[in-house]
Structure 1
Amino acid sequence: MIQERVKNLYRIAGNVSNFSNIYSEVLDEYINNSYVNYEEYLSDKKAEMFGEIFEKLTNEEKVQVYDYLTDDYSGYITFDSLENLAIAIIKKYREEVTEVLDIGSGKASFIRKCVKEDIGQEYVGEEINNKLSRDSQNLVKLLNLKNVTFKNVDSLKSVSKDRYSVVYSNMPFLNKLTNEVLNTYSSYSSIPIKKSITPDWIFMERLYNSMDDDGLGIAIVRTSILYSHADKEIRRQFSESKNIRAIIRLPEKLSNATAIPTVMIVFDKSYKGPLSMVDATNLYEKKERSLNHMNENNINTVLDAIEEESEISTRIERSILKENDYIWNTAYYLNEETLNLVNPKRLGDIATVFRGRDITKKELNEDADESYAGHLLNIADLDNYLIKGLNQKLSTSLMDKYQKYKIQEKDILLTARGSNLKIAIADKSLVEKDVIASSNIAVIRVTDEKVDPYYILSYLIGEEGKIRLGKLQTGSIILVLSLGTLKDFQVPFVSLESQKNIAEKMKMELAGLKSTIKRLEKFEEKLPNIFESNEKGVN
């Protein structure tokens, strides 16, 4: 019904690109004046038709139209499913709520849901955007909601001393922190930070600082904070000083306004128990306009997973975080059997997996005086996802003898034995040098035409892939990755089109990395010779 009303209004307006802005202005005039001059926004005939439809809408329908129009705009990012999940978590863990704060409240959708669900008695929304703050107040007036206040402020610069029973923040994903924000942060937090950290941590500290002594806080943040090396120290600080009930990895495409993967962090100052790690990435149903949506069953599954270990969750003590270098990534703690992968496939089913040839020192010594025709790839030759050099030459006789171990283009190469896990892919330039893999190198040769090797590489060198592979290595000093384990290793799969998009990005970045390394090598050659070349020039 609402979609039909929107289409009619949109058609009357002439499909104008700023229709959501026009509607917002009409709402503002309707609420704050006794008369709306529709002709100020549209031509005479269109204005009359638009006004006739608009004024027939109930107040609730007027709000629904506004929500529908603003769902796709990045300035109004709202995760309807995640607000529903947050509401369910609050209901489960709090029988009584007095004050609710929404940091970065946007169009007040979360506050409106809290009022509807009878969560809280007083509500405060903080929003930096002037227009959104105004719209929020108008929507609340239309719905006749009581005890709701909006502050048109920058939540990272204007920090109140008020404390709340529940604090929620679906925070804006900032790219960098300003000095003013950092200075304000230091006035209320004792945790030292660097300007290089992900800005989401500032919002989480502001959220936690605004919770009362028994407060519950829910933050929606980027998944990169779970494992980013730059955030390691602040993860440690949060792990040791904050009461965290759950870390929940969330499904993708829950909003048309952003494709950034997200995670929900649940803080609870009254909670002293183990931390729940939940992988909810596959808990969704398809919705209209290519969106995913978490239904009631999905949400209930998450609630159960927080309380008890399941196929998608585990519970760990804080000491385990310390033992694992304060990594928050849920994949690190879930067993392979319970890891929730999308359309998983065994490497052994899509590729030939084998170990390189063990060529003895005796063979290599006897081969040293022969004219060479190729190279042996050793662990030391793998570096930074590329092959940095080939130091061991092989004669024609050895190349012919071990021809079946010869590396082909797009072979994925990784260390089967060694102190560190290294992964690379064979490009054309490597293959042209005629290379045989040593026995310390495992080779993954993709044979399935519907699988792009560069997609496999992107997963294996990604945070989740590296964590999972690392957990499969055995040994204390020399780590071993067995072929059987590697063949059974499962990789999540997306469509071939999505694979190719990821693969193209991987190729482009690898080419950039290779070019950068070559430039660095030139500088390394030039720098030691500057003094001598200058002296010769003087003489």
Structure 2
Amino acid sequence: MMKSIQINESTAARLMRGLQGDTDANDWFNELSDREVVELFDECAAAGFYETTFFKEGEKIAIALFKALGSGGDVLDIGSGSGHFIRHAGIGTSYKGEEIDERQVKLSRQLIEKAGIRHAEIEQVDALLNFGSRHYDQVFCNMPFISRIDKRYFQSLSELSDYQVETRSLPDWLFAIRVVESLKERGIGIAIMRLNSLNSVKDREIREQMIKGGHIRAVIALPGQLSRFTTAEMAVVVFDKGYGGAVSFVDASEMWTKTESRHYRQLAASQIETIVQSVLSGSDISVSATLQQIDGQHYQMSPHLYLSAGHDSGHRLEDVALVYRGRDMTKKELDEEGQKEQAGYLLNLSELQDSYIGQMKQGLSAEMVQNREKLKLITGDILLTARGSTLKIAMVAEQISAGHVIPSSNIMVIRCHSIDPYFVFAYLNSHEGRARLTHMQTGSSLFVLSLKNMQQLMIPYENKNVAVQMHKELSAYQTLMKQVEQYHQQLPDIYDDFQ
């Protein structure tokens, strides 16, 4: 019957009614075997028809790593959801899932029973408030990416672990602490985390404590678009309670295969095998870093950072470009400018977007533009967030420079004189470039790029092919964005024009 069932909203709803014991769905539901019920549920869930989520490609890597590094035994799944990992892992003799959502607990118990998984229990519990005294041979956690952290978690983690936990810590590392604390002395833990959490200033002390304790064995950067449930770049972190060796940093971000949908990717079995071997014995997509080397990188843990560390040949940015910051204006100056004839603009950080500069609002007089002539933007200038909550990088197009624009002090300007600006722009937006910029940022919630550090940034030797392709792609993007901007400007008047 499975072959004739289409995966759609109606099918998903009927299946769920059957799982909930709805007699109206029983005739259809009872024709399915237990195996077919589980398979159909997973397909409907993967298509996004249920609230439950799982990261199938991430789980495949985790399972392969557990089989290579683990020793069987008892397995804990933190934040187990519908029990997808437990139903597919095949890595232990007994399983326990922890899940806070009562509906997910009931559902996972049904599906695990139908899947024929013996020696498995699901407990409804808040994983960060109830560590328990039991320790496990293998622990898995696909991070539930919650935006707000209950203050009780910080108190609980401070009491139940030896880690220095602060209220600004990201949930990724709070769950990582739970993973490590739940392991036996030779246990293996694997967590799927957001890539940007590996460099967060907020959690440096936690990362440092884990590295110095010898608890982290490997960090793997994953390709994007592996899941329909998140657009965030993801990483797999391998914890080994009794490891104590060099950390393997693996960059698998370009290792993926196509699916039927152009929006999503997957990992082939051979690619997963390569990732596992990179952790075990190294490869051309991995590098090992000692405690001293990681300390030298201030406990930033992005694989791109370590793989690029051996490629520092090139130019210091200050040798091939002028680097400067803009300048702010006082409220009094802005008020006075509003009374004068406009001859230019002040570019504020809110108008700076990634790869594009939006419509500017603050006009400047000819006198003000002339007084700040040295700061005025020209075509090809590269702009970065010098101070702000997110890093944005854009390039000045001709229509912007023609408007006599002065940047505010929250914006840093790179004006290339001995290297193609499109090559520099491409590098700064690459995985390696972004990782280095993130590493250079200081601050907690408001990040700062210092002028001195930017001037010392190493830029690789120029590649003309990269510059030409970047010019082509950026020009096309800026044209599209200009059309979008014009559309929004014209939209309010279209009705009135025909009255």
- TM-score, reference length from structure 1: 0.65
Structure 1 partner of 2:338: none
- What corresponds to 2:378 in structure 1? 408
Select which of 106, 120, 134 maps to 1:148: 120
**Match of 1:162, SS?**
coil
| Structure 2 SS opposite 1:102 | strand
- Shift in Å, 1:148: 0.5
In the TM superposition, residue 140 of structure 1 has moved relative to its aligned partner by 1.6
Q: Cα gap change, 1:354/1:288 in structure 2, threshold over 3 Å: closer, same or farther?
A: same
**Aligned: 1:178 with 2:120:** no
The Cα offsets for residues 262-315 of structure 1, whole Å up to 9 and x where unpaired, read as 100000123222100000111111123432111110011101211333221101
Whether the aligned pair in 1 keeps the contact of 2:381 and 2:414 (CA below 8 Å) is no
1:353-407: CA deviation from partner (whole Å, max 9, x where unpaired): 97579xxxxxxxxxxxxxxxx9xxxxxxxx9999x9989878xxxx9xxxxxx96
Kept in 2, the 8 Å contact 1:455–1:500? The answer is no
> Matched residues in 2 for 1:495 and 1:104: separation?
45
The one-letter code sitting in structure 2 at the alignment partner of 1:26 is G
1:299 aligned residue (265, 269, 272): 272
Number of residue pairs the alignment of both structures matches:
416
CA distance, structure 2, for counterparts of residue 140 and residue 460 of structure 1 = 40
Structure 2 counterpart of 1:284: 256
Contact kept? 2:214, 2:243, Cα under 8 Å: no
CA contact (8 A) 1:102 1:110 kept: yes
Render the CA deviation track for 1:322-350: whole Å, top value 9, x for unaligned.
011111011111138889xxxxxx9xxxx
Question: What does residue range 374-523 of structure 1 map to in structure 2 within 5 Å?
Answer: 408-412=378-382, 425-426=395-396, 431-433=402-404, 441-442=415-416, 463-464=434-435, 466=437, 485-487=461-463, 500=477
Question: Aligned pair 1:84/2:60, yes or no?
Answer: yes
* Cα distance per residue 1:85-105 (max 9 Å; x no partner): 1111111112x3211000001
| Cα pair 1:77 1:258 within 8 Å, conserved | no
Please give the root-mean-square deviation of Cα atoms over the aligned residues, in Å: 4.7
Q: How does 1:340-359 map to 2 (within 5 A)?
A: 355=321
Query: 2:77 matched to which residue of 1?
Result: 102
* Superposition pairs of residues 38-187 of structure 1, within 5 angstroms: 38=24, 51-52=27-28, 54-73=29-48, 75-94=51-70, 96-114=71-89, 117=90, 119-187=91-159
Q: Name the amino acid aligned to 2:41.
A: Y
Distance 1:502 1:82, change over 3 A: farther
Deviations 1:54-75 (A, max 9, x none): 3332210111111111114374
d(CA) in 2 for partners of 1:228, 1:168? 22
- Unaligned runs of at least 5 residues, structure 2: 324-342, 344-351, 358-363, 385-391, 407-412, 442-451, 486-499
Q: Distance in 2 between matches of 1:204 and 1:162?
A: 17
Moved more, 283-292 or 71-80: 71-80
User: 1:28 Cα shift?
Assistant: 3.5
State how far apart, in whole Å, the 2-side matches of 1:440 and 1:413 are. 6
Identity across the alignment (%): 26
Which of 15, 19, 23 is residue 37 of structure 1 equivalent to? 23
CA–CA distance in structure 1, aligned partners of residues 46 and 165 of structure 2: 34
Matching of residue 197 in structure 1 with residue 169 in structure 2: yes
Is 1:5 the counterpart of 2:9? The answer is no
One-letter amino acid of the counterpart of residue 271, structure 2: N
State the shift of 1:124 in Å. 0.2
Indicate if the aligned counterparts of 2:75 and 2:139 stay in contact, CA closer than 8 A: yes
Unaligned runs of 5+ in 1: 30-35, 42-46, 340-345, 347-352, 358-373, 375-382, 400-405, 415-421, 471-475, 509-539
Q: Which residue of 2 aligns with 1:254?
A: 226
Query: Take 1:223 and 1:162, find their aligned partners in 2: how far apart are those partners?
Result: 30
Residue deviations 1:430-489, cap 9 Å, x none?
554499xxx9942576679xxxx988875599732636999xxxxx99955688725579
Alpha-carbon distance in 2 for matches of 1:93, 1:460: 28
CA pair 338-145 structure 1, distance change in 2 beyond 3 A: farther
